[in-house]
C-alpha cells in the first residue's frame, strides 16, 4: 500500500507539473486585448524590445517555479511518512531525553532540517533565476544568510507551536482544533506587534528616512488622513534587489511606514507620495484589521477541516503512513501537508479579497494626490524593475496576485485622468 501511495503521489505531481508547463508556456495568452494596445497600459509603450522579452520569459519561469514548489512540499511530507523517517525522528527524540518538550523539539529539529535540505534546491533555482534576470543583486552568501535566518526563526516558532498543539490534542482529541484556534488569536497579534522591531531587523537595517524634506511631505499626507505617524523608515534593499516596494507593517505603537531605498532611488517625490498615499489607505480603511479578522476566520475553518481530514486519513491509511493516531507526534507531517493544501486551495479567495483592498487603496491614492500621471509612471516603473507581466494568465492571477494586474491598475488611472481632463 505504501509503495502504491508513493507511486500515485509521484505520478500526480508529474502530471500536475506537466499541466502547468503546458498552460504557462503554450496555452496562456498574455497579449493585451486590442482596445488597450497603444495606451499607457501597453508595455510596448514604456518597455523596450529586450525588456518585453525578458519580462515574458522571467514571468513564465517564475510562475512555473511557484506552482511546482507548493505541491513539492506535500510530496516531501508524504515521503517522510511513507519512508518511516517520521518514526525515526520520534525515536531519536525519545532516546535523547525523558522530557516531552525536549523530545518534541528534537523531532521538530530533524523534520525542519530535512525540509530545509529538500526545499533548498528549488529556492536556489529561484535565486539564480532572479540573478540572471538582474532582479536580485544579492550575493550567494547574503542569500544563504537569509535562508538560515528563515530556518532558525521558523524552527523557534515551530517548537512552541508543535509542543502546544500536541498538548491540546492529547487533552481533547475532539475539540483540539477549536482550542488551537483560540490560541492563534493572541499569538498572531503578538507576532504582528513584534515583526517590525524584532523579526524584520534580522534581515535588513532600518533607519529614519534621510530625506527630511520628503519625510515632511509624507507626514503631511499622513496628517490629512488622520494617521498618527511621526517617522518614515527606509530600509537598505539595494544590496539585495533592484525591485521596488513600500509598505505599512505592524500594529499599535509598533506600526511603521517603510520605503525601500531602491524606491527612493528610482522614483521622484510625486511618485513616492502616490505610493505612500496608497499605503496609508490601508490604515485609513482598516485593511490590516480586516485582514486579521479574515485570517482568523479562515484559520477556524482550516483547523476544523484539518482535524476531520486527519482523522479520516489515519483511519483509512494510518498503517501505510505509519501513523497510529492523531495525538502521536508522527502525525505532524500529515498535519503540515493538509494545512499547506488548504492554504493553497483557499489562496484564490484570499487573493481576491486582497485585490479588492488594493484597488480601494489605488482609488484613495488618486483621490488624495490628484496626480494620475505620477501613479501611471509609478506602475510602469514597478513593471520594469520587477519584469512583471502587465496582463498575467488567469490561473496566475488567481493563485499569485494579491494586487490587481498592472493592466487594471494603469487603466483605472488613465480613465481617471480622462474624466478629470473632461471636468
Positions marked catalytic: 279
d(C-alpha 2, C-alpha 76), whole Å = 14
d(C-alpha 241, C-alpha 320), whole Å = 45
Q: How many CA atoms lie within 13 A of 421 on its CB side?
A: 8
* Alpha carbon distances (Å) from 115 to 13, 73, 111, 166, 284: 18, 8, 6, 20, 40
* Alpha carbon distances (Å) from 32 to 41, 223, 377: 9, 40, 19
CA angle 284, 290, 296 (to 5 degrees): 155
Ramachandran sector of residue 252 (left: φ over 0; alpha: ψ -120 to 50; beta: rest): left
Residue 246 — φ and ψ, nearest 5°?
-155, 150
- Cβ neighbors of 237 (< 8 A, separation 6 or more) are 204, 243, 245, 260, 261, 262
Burial class (CB in 10 A: 0-12, 13-18, 19+), 142: middle
Residue 158 — φ and ψ, nearest 5°?
-65, -35
- Cβ neighbors of 145 (< 8 A, separation 6 or more) are none
Under DSSP, is residue 156 helix (H, G, I), strand (E, B) or coil?
helix
- In terms of Cα–Cα distance, which of 262, 242, 239 is closest to 145? 239
* CA R_g for the chain: 24
Contact predicate 269/214, CB 8 Å: yes
| Residue found under cell 499547506 | 340
Containing 145, the helix (H) or strand (E) segment is helix 140-171
- In terms of Cα–Cα distance, which of 94, 151, 156 is closest to 120? 151
Amino acid at each position: 500500500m505504501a509503495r502504491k501511495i508513493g507511486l500515485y503521489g509521484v505520478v500526480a505531481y508529474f502530471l500536475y507539473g506537466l499541466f502547468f508547463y503546458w498552460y504557462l508556456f503554450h496555452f496562456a495568452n498574455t497579449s493585451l486585448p486590442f482596445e488597450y494596445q497603444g495606451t499607457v497600459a501597453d508595455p510596448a509603450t514604456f518597455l523596450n524590445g529586450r525588456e518585453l522579452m525578458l519580462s515574458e520569459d522571467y514571468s513564465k519561469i517564475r510562475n512555473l517555479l511557484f506552482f511546482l514548489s507548493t505541491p513539492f512540499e506535500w510530496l516531501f511530507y508524504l515521503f517522510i511518512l511513507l519512508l518511516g523517517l517520521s518514526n525515526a525522528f520520534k525515536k531519536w527524540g525519545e532516546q535523547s531525553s525523558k522530557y516531552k518538550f525536549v523530545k518534541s523539539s528534537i523531532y521538530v529539529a530533524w523534520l525542519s532540517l530535512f525540509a530545509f535540505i529538500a526545499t533548498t534546491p528549488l529556492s536556489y533555482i529561484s535565486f539564480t533565476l532572479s540573478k540572471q534576470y538582474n532582479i536580485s543583486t544579492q550575493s550567494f552568501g547574503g542569500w544563504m544568510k537569509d535562508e538560515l535566518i528563515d530556518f532558525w526563526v521558523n524552527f523557534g516558532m515551530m517548537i512552541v507551536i508543535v509542543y502546544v498543539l500536541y498538548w491540546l490534542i492529547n487533552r481533547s482529541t475532539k475539540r483540539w482544533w477549536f482550542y488551537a484556534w483560540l490560541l492563534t488569536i493572541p499569538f498572531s497579534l503578538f507576532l504582528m506587534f513584534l515583526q517590525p522591531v524584532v523579526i524584520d531587523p534580522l534581515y535588513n537595517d532600518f533607519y529614519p528616512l534621510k530625506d527630511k524634506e520628503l519625510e515632511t511631505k509624507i507626514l503631511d499626507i499622513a496628517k490629512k488622513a488622520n494617521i498618527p505617524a511621526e517617522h518614515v523608515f527606509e530600509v537598505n534593499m539595494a544590496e539585495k534587489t533592484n525591485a521596488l516596494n513600500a509598505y505599512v507593517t505592524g500594529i499599535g505603537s509598533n506600526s511603521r511606514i517603510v520605503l525601500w531605498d531602491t524606491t527612493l532611488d528610482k522614483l521622484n517625490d510625486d511618485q513616492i507620495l502616490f505610493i505612500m498615499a496608497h499605503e496609508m489607505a490601508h490604515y485609513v480603511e482598516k485593511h490590516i484589521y480586516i485582514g486579521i479578522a479574515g485570517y482568523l476566520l479562515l484559520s477556524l475553518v482550516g483547523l476544523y477541516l484539518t482535524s476531520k481530514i486527519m482523522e479520516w486519513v489515519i483511519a483509512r491509511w494510518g498503517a501505510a503512513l505509519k501513523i497510529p493516531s492523531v495525538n502521536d507526534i508522527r502525525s505532524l507531517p500529515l498535519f503540515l501537508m493538509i494545512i499547506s493544501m488548504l492554504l493553497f486551495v483557499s489562496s484564490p479567495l484570499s487573493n481576491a479579497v486582497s485585490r479588492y483592498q488594493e484597488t480601494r487603496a489605488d482609488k484613495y491614492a488618486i483621490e488624495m494626490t490628484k496626480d494620475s500621471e505620477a501613479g501611471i509612471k509609478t506602475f510602469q516603473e514597478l513593471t520594469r524593475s520587477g519584469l512583471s507581466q502587465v496582463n498575467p494568465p488567469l490561473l496566475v492571477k488567481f493563485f499569485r496576485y494579491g494586487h490587481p494586474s498592472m493592466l487594471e491598475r494603469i487603466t483605472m488611472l488613465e480613465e481617471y485622468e480622462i474624466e478629470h481632463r473632461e471636468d
